[in-house]
């Protein structure tokens, strides 16, 4: 039986006060240094064209302009996170509107803008592919087609009692982080460069900059203090902008600052990949799926970026919470002439889940069954229906209990009847309700990325400095990791300070992505802390055998201190009996044998005991054969359910999300307040993707909706009128650090309940429609057009 956590809120976000006070330091808050240059990017205005001429003479003659760099100034011009196919600066051909062509450096921002405007580029236009369907017709693809399959799909479809076919069309989404891409590069002696970047992946910045400059990795240091939002948009695409700043800094010998405007950032950078998914599904009279055949096509844009891995996760999540006995999931990334699309919160997961949740609604309405019953009948369970289509057994599965618990908590059946009665009598409004689930796999699907390291330094006064490869983008990863460290040493949280992420302290780091930032880095930090604590416990046991006047703090200066031994060779007692709690260290069975943590740090230092350590962690038990599409790609699954109710104005198409109830299994949260914040934030961001965030391009692939005035992210007025978020107890979760579960991405997928609730409402206008195709997002305009079309057909 599902029980809801009775959780006291944890400590506040480590930057909460400084954010409110305006004292938090972001990249562009760093004070300028003498001689610092401002850097701007000249980008393509054509989607596909030969570069006939790039004339920089007028720019160089402009007052205040110091230098202009083009592709000929780049040591190694190709980069790419998975496939190195993208130029840092376009050379002979441009392949999307917004592709960087040249970099201008000037004394002031105003001079830099003048220089940008004076660069003259001549193009010879080439044919452009601007949609998924055009790419399919032209066979314009990135990498090979992939398949994950189980069972005999063709036979099961042929023998199924009922079948449906359809297409789900999913548009992209802009990350709309508040801090645009920005970097400052400082030239250092000996050809070195230090970069302060807004990046989720400092190691990739280091590597791309080193590669582009033609220098070894040890000559580049990347530092990330914090980001003003990331959401995946700074996982890979921040690296070229950091390189442009480093190019200017190393070639001029002056510090260089690059800060994109919001408009340029939106035009130049990739979004959540648009998808078009064709599917056929066979099912029985009860709505149980016999077979699913799905072909997923994504718009990768002009270059690969992370699109192949995004497609892989979409394929892996095409089951979502539902058992597929016979399944064939085929994925193909399309190559078009738009900005290369990239990671976005949820990666490919939301697209696969959107498809299967749409299928669930269509099955239900075609049979005249409540969609919740169809979902419950197809949900993973323990009766042999607990293995995914890629062969991973679903452990610690709470999905059946979560469905039942939220059905009762949300009073779903009564509200369903009430909504049906309302829709039957109302001429002006429609209501809809939907209860959907999420089963989100936690781990990078590329195994080598599932590793983390941490440096822990304990000082003589009992304070602790902590450095990890995690990057803080507002999600609270620093607070969570600091809480794990503080608990390990039994000290107050304010005794732990998380230092800026730097590639000179934490090498070969994975990006802070895949919801794994805390999992990897907190575990690595804990490894280091436990080693230090074990040595300190040995010191404590030896001190307790001495008179305090013999302790090193009293005798070390005289050279009469006893030599305390922390090697394995000396048996000093069971260190597991030593407790670190409340700022003190004591023996559990004899609490009077006690010393303050700070004093023990001092005694340990004077005894020449190591008070720092480096921890390393790699996620165990994961493996996935990408060729066969089989294996255990995920360490565990985060699960949840949401029930959303919507109200639609039939005369205007206006949408109101009236009520949302949400249950999430996050194991044992490290910080409940941060986790609830992540859940609500992810859900609302997902609502934007589902309902308001409409990307509009012209016939050249130029993004027209490139500012807050034309691109509508959710405001406070768009949030659910009633919003109830609860975390459930899960004592069976024991795998992860502190028995917690990742929270960053999974709740976003529950926002699809708003989209399927819209679908549910619209079905009342045309109850005879077997499958109702809705695009993502369903904006007010699209809802109004759908109401009009369905009213005519219904």
Dihedral of CA 194/195/201/205: which sign?
A: negative
Reference 753, options 665, 657, 675; nearest CA is: 657
* Helices 202-213, 239-252: crossing angle, 10 deg rounding: 50
Q: Are 584 and 490 in contact (CB under 8 A)?
A: yes
Rg of the chain over all Cα atoms, to the nearest angstrom: 28
**Which pair of structure tokens corresponds to residue 3?**
């029980």
What's the longest Cα–Cα distance across the chain? 97
Cα 73 from Cα 213, distance rounded (Å): 9
> Residue 209 phi/psi, 5° resolution?
-65, -45
Q: Which residues are catalytic?
A: 745
Reference 202, options 468, 448, 24; nearest CA is: 468
Residue 586 β-bridge partners: 579, 594
Strands 501-502 and 578-581: unpaired
Reference 460, options 556, 542, 345, 589; nearest CA is: 556
Residue 450 β-bridge partners: none
For residue 151, what are the CA distances in angstroms to 318, 609, 687?
A: 16, 60, 35
Q: Are 179 and 168 in contact (CB under 8 A)?
A: no
Identify the burial level of 615 via C-beta atoms within 10 angstroms of its C-beta, where 0-12 means exposed, 13-18 middle and 19 or more buried. buried
Reference 206, options 636, 544, 506; nearest CA is: 506
**Which pair of structure tokens corresponds to residue 257?**
């600052």
Q: Are 7 and 672 in contact (CB under 8 A)?
A: yes
Residue 166 β-bridge partners: 279
Dihedral of CA 759/760/762/767: which sign?
A: positive
For residue 543, what are the CA distances in angstroms to 548, 549, 573, 590?
A: 8, 10, 12, 14
Q: Are 276 and 171 in contact (CB under 8 A)?
A: no
Dihedral of CA 40/347/147/283: which sign?
A: negative
For residue 107, what are the CA distances in angstroms to 110, 193, 195?
A: 8, 20, 19
Cα 624 from Cα 51, distance rounded (Å): 42
DSSP character string of 396-432: S--HHHHHHHHHHHTTHHHHHHHHHHHHHH-SSEEEE
DSSP 29: G
Residue 168 β-bridge partners: 277
């Amino acid at each position: 039986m599902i029980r809801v956590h009775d959780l006291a809120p944890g400590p506040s976000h480590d930057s909460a006060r400084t954010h409110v006070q305006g004292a938090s330091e972001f990249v562009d808050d760093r004070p300028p240094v003498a001689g610092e240059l401002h850097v701007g990017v000249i980008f393509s205005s054509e989607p596909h064209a030969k570069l006939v001429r790039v004339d920089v003479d007028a720019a160089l003659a402009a007052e205040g302009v110091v230098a202009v760099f083009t592709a000929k100034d780049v040591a190694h011009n190709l980069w790419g996170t998975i496939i190195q196919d993208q130029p840092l600066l376009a050379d002979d051909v441009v392949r999307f509107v917004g592709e960087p062509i040249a970099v201008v450096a000037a004394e002031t921002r105003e001079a830099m803008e003048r220089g940008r405007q004076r660069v003259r580029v001549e193009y010879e236009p080439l044919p452009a592919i601007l949609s998924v369907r055009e790419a399919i017709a032209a066979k314009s693809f990135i990498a090979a087609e992939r398949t994950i399959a189980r069972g005999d799909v063709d036979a099961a479809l042929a023998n199924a009692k009922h079948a449906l076919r359809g297409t789900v069309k999913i548009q992209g989404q802009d990350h709309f982080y508040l801090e645009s891409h920005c970097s400052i590069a400082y030239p250092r002696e000996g050809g070195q460069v230090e970069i302060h970047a807004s990046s989720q992946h400092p190691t990739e910045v280091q590597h791309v900059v080193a590669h582009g400059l033609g220098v070894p990795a040890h000559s580049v240091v990347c530092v990330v203090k914090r980001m003003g939002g990331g959401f995946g948009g700074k996982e890979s695409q921040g690296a070229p902008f950091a390189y442009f700043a480093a190019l200017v800094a190393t070639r001029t010998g002056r510090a260089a600052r690059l800060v994109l405007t919001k408009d340029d950032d939106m035009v130049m950078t990739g979004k959540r990949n648009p998808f078009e998914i064709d599917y056929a599904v066979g099912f029985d009279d009860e709505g149980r799926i016999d077979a699913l055949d799905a072909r997923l096509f994504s718009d990768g844009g002009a270059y690969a970026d992370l699109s192949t891995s995004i497609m892989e996760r979409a394929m892996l999540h095409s089951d979502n919470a539902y058992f597929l006995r016979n399944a064939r999931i085929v994925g193909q990334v399309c190559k078009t002439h738009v900005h290369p699309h990239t990671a976005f919160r949820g990666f490919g997961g939301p697209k696969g889940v959107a498809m299967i949740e749409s299928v669930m609604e269509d099955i239900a309405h075609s049979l005249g069954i409540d969609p919740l019953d169809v979902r419950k009948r197809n949900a993973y369970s323990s009766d042999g229906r607990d293995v995914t289509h890629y062969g991973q057994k679903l452990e610690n599965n709470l999905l059946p209990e979560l469905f039942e618990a939220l059905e009762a908590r949300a009073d779903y059946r009564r509200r369903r009847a009430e909504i049906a009665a309302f829709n039957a009598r109302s001429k002006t409004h429609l209501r809809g309700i939907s209860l959907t689930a999420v089963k989100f796999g936690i781990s990078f699907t590329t195994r080598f990325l599932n590793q983390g390291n941490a440096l822990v330094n304990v000082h003589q006064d009992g304070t602790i400095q902590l450095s990890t490869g995690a990057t803080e983008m507002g999600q609270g990863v620093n607070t969570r990791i600091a809480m794990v460290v503080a608990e390990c040493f039994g000290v107050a949280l304010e005794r732990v300070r998380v230092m800026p992420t730097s590639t000179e302290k934490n090498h070969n780091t994975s990006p802070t992505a895949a919801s794994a930032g805390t999992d990897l880095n907190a575990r690595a930090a804990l490894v280091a802390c436990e080693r230090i604590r074990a040595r300190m416990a040995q010191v404590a046991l030896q001190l307790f055998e001495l008179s305090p006047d013999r302790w090193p703090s009293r005798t070390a200066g005289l050279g009469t201190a006893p030599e305390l031994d922390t090697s394995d060779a000396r048996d000093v007692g069971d260190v597991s009996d030593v407790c670190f709690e409340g700022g003190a260290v004591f023996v559990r069975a004899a609490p009077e044998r006690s010393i303050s943590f700070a004093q023990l740090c001092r005694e340990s230092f004077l005894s020449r005991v190591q008070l720092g350590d480096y921890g390393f962690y790699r996620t165990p038990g994961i493996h996935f054969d990408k060729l066969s599409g089989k294996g255990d790609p995920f360490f565990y699954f985060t699960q949840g359910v949401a029930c959303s109710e919507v109200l639609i104005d039939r005369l205007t198409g206006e949408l109101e999300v009236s009520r949302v109830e949400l249950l999430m299994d996050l194991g044992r949260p490290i910080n409940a307040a941060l986790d609830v914040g992540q859940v609500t934030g992810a859900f609302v961001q997902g609502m934007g993707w589902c309902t308001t965030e409409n990307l509009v391009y012209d016939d050249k692939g130029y993004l027209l909706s490139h500012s807050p005035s034309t691109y509508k992210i959710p405001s406070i007025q768009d949030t659910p009128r009633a919003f109830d978020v609860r975390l459930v107890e899960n004592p069976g979760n024991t795998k992860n650090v502190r028995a917690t579960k990742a929270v960053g991405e999974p709740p976003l997928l529950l926002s699809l309940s708003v989209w399927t609730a819209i679908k549910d409402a619209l079905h009342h206008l045309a109850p005879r429609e077997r499958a109702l195709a809705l695009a993502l997002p369903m904006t007010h305009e699209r809802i109004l057009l759908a109401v009009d079309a369905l009213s005519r057909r219904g």
